[in-house]
Structure 1
Amino acid sequence: MNATPHLRTWLTLLRTPRFASVSLREQLAIHGGIDAVHAALLQRLAELPPDTRGWLERPDQRRLDADLAWLEHPCHRLLLCTDEDFPPQLETIAQPPIALFVAGDASLLLRPQLAIVGARAATLAGRTYAGAFAEDLGHAGFVITSGMAEGIDGAAHLAALDAGLPSVAVVGTGPDRVYPRQHHALARRLAAEGALVSEFPPGTPARVDHFPRRNRLISGLSLGTLVVEAGLQSGSLITARLAAEQGREVFALPGCIHNPLALGCHRLIRDGARLVETAAEIVEALAPAAVAMGRELAGRLDRSALPAPGATAFEADPSRQALFDALGYGPVAFEDLAGSTGKAVSDLTSELLMLELEGKVEALPGNRYQRLPGY
């Protein structure tokens, strides 16, 4: 990313004390651009709090230079709310972020995501369940999103990555900091094979109040949130509550009544969360929302950046072309597709979901599929 004066202005305002994202969004709506917002603030410095005024008058240029140096890395990006590919699902949440610092593949934020969260002091069984669900849901086409914490979060990230699938971590520090410290190796893998996301600028340390803010992004990015293990005081219950408030699905795994880490999940189920025992139940519940999300994105993004209908999306992938050919032009049962293509059930489910998201295939009653007109 080029170190333009325009970008330096963004970074200056993102670091301005007492100037929250909501305020910055309001000013953008009034003035129409970041440079105009900055100019307007400079004109009324006397009205601003002392620390806000002091920063705007004398911003720390070395800190801004360090931010720009971080952004010079080819896999680092400042994703702005004014960018066409800013994740639209975040626009509808309370206190939407104004910008996101991303290390890794920012396009993953536009794919259907499933959050898996739970206890830091998880049991071995809980970590095993988290990993199994992460792998199955990843193969079904969902990007696994979590907070890179110990326990359930880390197990979900690792299972996805070990299966060759991407994963997204939303962190409560700057994108260049690792918390907890023992997850340095995991953070490197996430940046290389998935994405690390933060609304805090580089160098920001972990603070207690950062994690509820992080949790609203985990749930807001995701179509649904699965809680695997959680005590009654678990921060995962905050994520689940935020997901429900954001209109997202909440899923919970039941557990032994004698396990204190099952009590939070049981409370969620009593309060209306879906009790689930298999990943297939989650896929079934979220598939319509995933398809709707794909159609919304297709309308939002520049169509010139998308593959030409019916051709180039498959030419680079003979496996997907074979599936498209097997679909023919009439409804085809899932088991017939599995037999004719020789694909594993998990791979076939994932590819069909992606074709639905691209608007090329429609799922029909009776576990059947067919091409949509024009493809």
Structure 2
Amino acid sequence: MTVAPFLTATPEADTAAGADARPRPDPDDDEALLRLLAAGGAAAPRRALLEAHGGAGAALRAGSGAWRRAGLAPAQVRALEGGAAADPRARDWLARPGHHLLGWHDPDYPPLLRAIPSPPLALFVAGEPALLWHPAVAIVGSRSPSAGGRDNARAFAHALAGSGLAVTSGLALGIDTTAHLAALAAGGTTVAVVGSGLDFPYPRANAALQARIAAAGAVVSEHPPGTRALREHFPSRNRIIAGLTLGTLVVEAARRSGALITARQAAEAGREVFAVPGSIHNPVARGCHRLIREGAALVERADEVIATLAPLASELGGALRRRLDAPSSLSGTPSRGARGAPGADDPDYNRLWQALGHDPTGMDLLLERTGLTTAQLSSMLLVMELEGWIVAEHGRYSRTS
């Protein structure tokens, strides 16, 4: 069973995508957004400021009166009046290829994350930002799992990634690491959310894994480059994991653990929560048993998770297509078998389809064959994958039929 065939546009998805999505107002928006981040303090007034003015550059130019009307505290106003400066490390990081900054006002800001109680003002992303719109499930659990727990995390992540769902986790040792690696091994999509700046991999043992995920998926943080991992960052990191995903699967967790925090935050955001049961003698299974008693779905197989999330993935898939200005069905018909190629009425999609074959093809060759930009190609490939026309394995793409 795969998720992709369920992805059809819906009115709800169009609403989720945001019909008023607008481009950034000026090329200096990243610098202005970095200054807003440097001002510190409560995020809600700064989100209101961005909403009122349509972008960070316009918000800063609006002046102190507008800042106060948006609810900024006196300390925040003073910081902006004093020219709160962006950290040079953040500026330098953003200048490198594959590094992005998504602000609250940005039409690419992931829609699921907008719906949580305390969404971040901005996200730093290494990799492909469009993947934050991809239907995903969080897999979390103990940093010291049992051998059986690792096996379960590996099996669930491999199957979920193979179904078309992205696997999102926190890059911690244990279950998180196992889930990321299994998703990569399946040739699927994985997203890591971290509690430090993206130039400070944590834990250090996973620096190479973070680089792999950035190359094949996306690594995300709300903390600017230059920020070291601090204990207090991880509960807030967990809310982003829960907020980016359609549901959270807890594989193993003790009674007091970060995985349970993620599950609680998922439930508070109205997302699905799943738990894998374990032995009554296993201390890192007790958190899962507690979740089940509190109403989490007991799951034994990945297809149980997929069946629950497929209708929700349909809505998010529609939102993605709306954001990318893609047709609601690439083939223009309800059935893939009715036509020989997707997007026959769209020359760019048709050119991409002709450039693809049944043998896996890398991005560089597709760029050469199609003449499209990297951004265009990444977006179109993601939509075609969601529709089930292509599969992606280890950064290479091929037709499914």
Give the Cα separation in 2 of the matches to 1:240 and 1:317: 40
Distance in 2, matches of 1:159 and 1:183, equals 15
Check 1:186–1:8 CA distance in 2 against 1; reply closer, same or farther (3 A cut). same
Secondary structure in 2 aligned to 1:191?
helix
Q: Partners of 1:306 and 1:207 in 2: how far apart?
A: 45
CA contact (8 A) 2:239 2:266 kept: yes
Q: Please give the residue correspondences for 1:147-166 in structure 2 after superposition, counting only pairs within 5 Å.
A: 147-166=170-189
Q: How far apart, in 2, do the equivalents of 1:87 and 1:208 lie? A: 26
Structure 2 CA distance for partners of 1:172 and 1:56, relative to 1, 3 Å: farther
Question: Which residue, 15, 18, 43 being the options, matches 1:21?
Answer: 43
Alignment equivalent of 1:95, drawn from 118, 141, 144: 118
Deviation of residue 242 (structure 1)?
A: 0.8
**Matched residue, 2:98:** 75
Q: Say whether the 8 Å CA contact 2:161–2:187 is kept in structure 1.
A: no
What stretches of structure 2 of length at least 5 have no aligned partner? 1-25, 333-341, 360-382, 390-401
Q: Say if 1:290 and 1:357, in contact at 8 Å, map to a contact too.
A: no
Contact kept? 1:291, 1:356, Cα under 8 Å:
no
Task: Tell me what 1:53 maps to.
Answer: 78
Determine the C-alpha separation between the residues in 1 that align with 2:227 and 2:329: 36
Aligned partner of residue 274 in structure 2, secondary structure: strand
User: For 1:230 and 1:16, how far apart are their aligned partners in 2?
Assistant: 37
Q: Which amino acid aligns with 2:190?
A: S
Equivalenced residues, count: 323
Match among 290, 295, 298 for residue 275 of structure 1 = 298
Match of 2:267 in 1: 244
* Pairing 1:145–2:145 present: no
Partner of 1:36: 58
Partner of 1:287: 310
Q: Which structure 2 residues correspond to residues 313-332 of structure 1 after superposition, within 5 A?
A: 314-319=353-358
Q: Kindly provide the CA deviation profile for residues 178-219 of structure 1, in whole angstroms up to 9, marking residues without a partner as x.
A: 111211111111111211101111111112221111111101
Task: Please give the secondary structure, in 2, of the residue aligned with 1:303.
Answer: coil
Question: 2-side partners of 1:118 and 1:211: how far apart?
Answer: 14
Please, what is the CA RMSD of the aligned residues? 2.8
Structure 1 residue 74 displacement after superposition: 1.4
Distance 1:97 1:114, change over 3 A: same
- Alignment partner of 1:93: what SS? coil
Q: How does 1:1-375 map to 2 (within 5 A)?
A: 4-18=27-41, 20-42=42-64, 48-50=73-75, 53-54=78-79, 56-60=81-85, 63=87, 65-303=88-326, 309=332, 310=342, 311=344, 312=349, 314-319=353-358, 357-358=386-387
Deviation at 1:58, TM superposition (A): 4.2
Larger Rg: 1
The structure-2 alpha-carbon separation of the partners of 1:242 and 1:261, relative to structure 1 and needing over 3 Å to count, comes to: same
5+ residue gaps, structure 1: 321-353, 361-375
Q: CA deviation at 1:357?
A: 4.8
Q: Alpha carbons of 1:233 and 1:41: their partners in 2 closer, same or farther (altered >3 Å)? A: farther
Spell out, residue by residue over 1:65-88, the C-alpha distance to the aligned partner (whole angstroms, 9 max, x if none). Answer: 332221111111112233322211
* Contact 2:184-2:190 at 8 Å conserved across structures: yes
Greater relative contact order: 1 or 2 (C-alpha under 8 angstroms, separation 6 or more)?
Answer: 2
CA contact (8 A) 2:50 2:104 kept: no
Distance (whole Å) between structure 2 residues aligned to residue 153 and residue 213 of structure 1? 16
* Structure 2 contact 89–226 (Cα < 8 Å) conserved: no
Q: Which segment is superposed worse, 309-318 or 71-80? A: 309-318
The aligned amino acid for 2:58 is: A
**2:393 corresponds to:** none
Residue of structure 1 in register with 2:6 after alignment: none
Residue type of the alignment partner of 1:14 = L
Equivalent residue, structure 1, for 2:395: none
Q: Is the 8 A contact 1:295 1:357 kept in 2?
A: no
Structure 1 range deviating more: 157-166 or 286-295 = 157-166
Rate the CA distance shift 1:39–1:184 in 2: closer, same or farther, 3 A. same
Percent identity, aligned pairs only, is 49
Kindly state the Cα deviation for residue 238 of structure 1 after the two structures are TM-superposed: 0.7
